[in-house]
Structure 1
């Protein structure tokens, strides 16, 4: 499912226009992004939670040359499914 499919599903389920569904979805994604940029955890009850984690520096390898390449530290988003979603996936 891509973003357009999600917008169509929201519009059909909520019986609203696609434009309104898109505005709502974009607003939600913007707020989630802003919260995670501030280091906050975003939890959607029954679905799961998104957290920002620090990735340590490490070394990788260029697959073409075999050369060792340093990979700098970075931040990444981690998703942990909630109980309800985990049960549905089993």
Structure 2
């Protein structure tokens, strides 16, 4: 297990799933990551920032004019980890 931990890149403070974002790190998404928000694991996080304490999640099935999910920002304790 320590060999796989050495290969994994360090999780950034600010990460986005959108490849067009400047906060997207493709090497991180080669591994299974999880986000714990206010003590509960969330599977619908589009973007997070640990230092500022927020996550962006889709607001239902609503889409913006470019076809991307419309997101809302939730504030609280954020923890990112590898599964």
Q: TM-score range by the shorter chain?
A: under 0.3
Instruction: Please state which structure has a larger fraction of its residues in strand.
Output: 2
Higher relative contact order (CA 8 A, sep 6+): 2
TM-score by length of 1: 0.24
Normalising by the residue count of structure 2, what TM-score does the alignment of the two structures yield?
A: 0.25
